[in-house]
Structure 1
Amino acid sequence: MKGIIFSEFLNLVEDTFGLEICQKMLDENQSDGVYTSVGTYDHRDLVKLIVTLSQLTGVDAEELQRVYGKSIFIRLYQSMPGLQGQAHSTFEFVKSVEEYIHIEVKKLYQNANPPKFTFVSEKKAQLIMDYHSARCMSHVCFGLLQGCADHFNEQMDIDMQPLDDDGTEVRFTLNII
């Protein structure tokens, strides 16, 4: 997982919960908190930070992931200037993730293993897609979808249903309200 994901998470923690909580979370995980945006790190380290933050704050780990996903959307969007202006809606953008972003990520980072989206159906006001990821971070994806809808100023009802017991496959149903 790219370091930008870690550094943005630390920024969110510090902004939301303060430097003391952020440092305590890092200390409890024996982490120095130094992540370069282009470095590659084990996603399990991020999961450990999220679990520790949940324990320190009493906020559910899944909710922390969702809030994080929502907050990082615009940063990730801005990091890919070739995409800006290419999509004009949440549905267009989400489809471009699989058609463009993940392909470009794999070109840049040959060992990258981004999640995969399979589009099940699309209607004018509804998109159904399956999320597949060995990292089991579907709640981050949920937040990213919320951040995307906010970016495009669309009112969106998003439903998330697990398709398996281990969280590697999840169906998202996006309905424009």
Structure 2
Amino acid sequence: MIHSYQSAREREPYATRFGIAFQPGPQQLVSPGEPGIFVRRPRADHPGSLKPPSRFEAVTGRWGLIPLFSKDGEDPLFEAPAETAAGDRNFLQPWKRGHRCVALVDALNIEGKDGPGSLQQVSRADGKVMALAGLWNGWRSPQGQCVESFAIFSVRCEAGQRHPALLHDAWLEDWLACPVEETTAFLRPYSPDAELVRRKI
């Protein structure tokens, strides 16, 4: 289970991995329900131009996906189980529409092996940012406001725990642009523990 994450604080990974000129600002600890930055393909209704200026864009949305059928925007979904999301009505429409996204993070705070209340911080051993696979949605409130939100995919790991789906660097563009039927091929445990650093917090 994901408790929170530290959003990437440098502009370099946005530029080198996605070709986006974007400055994220100071590092931010993002908790469920709070705004976070994610990268996606530009929306089809991208304002101001029939041809978006870039293949990808960085946007801010609420961590906690609001299903299209929600009446009040309550009970958002923070994690999308990789094994069942394609058939879950909560995620069905953004899944079918290919609304995949990537959240770049410096570190993850997840539930430790000792259960609720124990936390581990996870980061890459090489110090580079991690890329979380996500699913975004645009929900229209009763007042007519478009609220963009996202969930982070999770995969089942050892001892029945669920961890965020981490994407290899070489997968990022393919993840965002691949056909819908290829989505599940990217949602798997990331790597041996030797590539990640874990510490109790």
Task: Give the TM-score normalised by the residue count of structure 1.
Answer: 0.29
Q: Which has the higher helix share?
A: 1
Q: Identify the structure with bigger relative contact order (alpha carbons < 8 Å, sequence gap 6+).
A: 2
Task: Give the TM-score normalised by the residue count of structure 2.
Answer: 0.27
Q: Which has the higher strand share?
A: 2
